[in-house]
Amino acid sequence: MKLQKIVCRLQELHPKEIDLSLNRIQNLSKKLGNPQDKIKAISFVGTNGKYSTIQAMFSILKEANFKCNIYTSPHIKNINERFVFNNEELNDEDLANLLEEIEEANSGEPITFFEILTAAYFLKASQYPDNINLIESGLFFRFDATNILKNNLASVVTSIGLDHLDWLPENEQTIEKIIFEKTSSLLNSNIIVAKQSTNQITDHIKKTISNNGSNKVFHKENYSFTIQENDFFYYEDQFGGIKLPMPNVKGHFQLENVSTAIATLKTLKDLNIKDDHIKKGVLKIISIARLQEIKSGKLKELVKDHQLFVDGSHNPLGAKVLNEYLESLDCEKHIILGMMANKDHREYMSFFKDIASLTTIDIPNQPNSIKGKELKDKLNSFSNINYKESIEDAIKSIPVKENDIILITGSLYLAGEVLNLN
């Protein structure tokens, strides 16, 4: 209860949910003694894959007996997920006390909720100077609150695509502008660039960071992976190759994320990550709401023996890689869809080519989501489309046959509701 009250107070300190600027977080961090200058960090920027790459890296680092702090956003089920210290989520009491300390230091000054959370993370992380910090950027990066570090171990650039266009002027809603916002202010250390959806995007990233003196590592040029028979995949870079078991996460795109995590850790040679750490780590990745199969619980009981997945993808690039996984399955697929109002709903669904049914729903507790009925009307080009008010009603309404799967997708907020309901 104490944590909820503090969160509510902090959310009222600024009239905007997002206000892209660094001055407020810099001022608050100065009051706190600039804790961000006292940590060892790996920064993650990009559109998709940041969370999954962090989780893969975390799993490998734990096998190598490293202690990690992790900062991610948004949270899926509860706000504590954003704050991992010494490999463990912060409990309610400790998080409430931490936020109370930040609130007192801020003295009622206007500041966004994300900036407050970021300052809180940096302060707590500074108490563990030997830990490795895995820090996910928020919106874009150039004016994001996480972009106040002066030094880091590496910057990881995951796949970049079109998203959050409503935060850019109409004449700047381009992939080139997004690449600039995400990569033009990367620190001078190591930059690892993941596989991109097109060569043009990779080329533009190279152009944007051309004056950055970092050691640069690119997928395909400096590291790569191939899928082998008998449930193995082969990772290779300038240091050699490793035959690895298939990770315990689904989808070809997850192999891209895992490979980027490996490339980063092997680039940081001082960490002395061994092949055995990698082999064990890729089998223990914990990834919430990223093509996550629900294997037990209230909603699983509704689908009985059929497979039920939840995935928080919400932009065209996410839809593309998600559909690639679906197309690899020899069964009928049923999608339950809920999305935020500011997303490109038609563009998102245009990537799904072979869907047995589509059911739109309302996202509970999200006033900024599009109503399921309106979403159904926008997507009327799908022949077998229906609307149901609730997640449970949507599941019950689908006439699944043997081997069919049900996928709930379109929003991380929806994924959180699904997992909490389950």
- Identify the structural domains of the chain with CATH numbers, from first to last: 2-281 (3.40.1190.10), 292-421 (3.90.190.20)
The first and second tokens of residue 1, run together, are 């209860």
Distance (Å, whole) CA 280 – CA 283: 6
1-10, 79-88, 116-125, 181-190: segment of lowest average pLDDT? 1-10
List the end-to-end C-alpha distance of the chain, in Å, as a whole number: 23
pLDDT at 165: 60
Cβ atoms of 313 and 347 within 8 Å: the answer is: no
- Pairwise pLDDT comparison (55 vs 342), residue with the higher score: 55
State the average pLDDT over residues 6-29: 86
Average pLDDT over the chain, rounded to whole? 93
User: Does the structure show a pLDDT above 90 at 354?
Assistant: no
The first and second tokens of residue 367, run together, are 């006033």
pLDDT digits (tens, 9 = 90+) for 105-135: 999 999 999 999 999 999 999 999 999 999 9
Calculate what percentage of the chain has a pLDDT beyond 70. Answer: 98
The first and second tokens of residue 335, run together, are 């999608």
3 state DSSP class of 4: helix
Distance (Å, whole) CA 96 – CA 108: 17
At 211, the amino acid letter reads: N
pLDDT at 164: 66
14 pLDDT band, cuts 50/70/90, is: confident
The first and second tokens of residue 30, run together, are 């100065």
At 216, the amino acid letter reads: K
The first and second tokens of residue 160, run together, are 């970049």
Which residues are bridge partners to 309 per DSSP? Answer: 293, 407
Task: Give CA torsion, residues 66, 71, 76, 80, to 10 deg.
Answer: 80
- Would the pTM count as exceeding 0.75? yes
State the average pLDDT over residues 346-356: 92
Burial class (CB within 10 angstroms; exposed 0-12, middle 13-18, buried 19+) of 198: exposed
Output 285-288 pairs: Cβ under 8 A, ≥24 positions apart: 285/52, 285/55, 285/56, 285/59, 285/247, 285/248, 285/249, 285/258, 286/55, 286/59, 287/51, 287/52, 287/55, 287/249, 287/254, 288/76, 288/77, 288/81, 288/415, 288/419
Which residues are bridge partners to 377 per DSSP? Answer: none
52-56, 173-177, 326-330, 391-395: segment of lowest average pLDDT? 173-177
Residue whose structure tokens are 């690449």: 179
pLDDT digits (tens, 9 = 90+) for 362-404: 999 899 999 999 999 999 989 899 999 999 999 999 999 888 9
Q: Is the peptide bond before 245 cis (omega within 30 degrees of 0)?
A: no
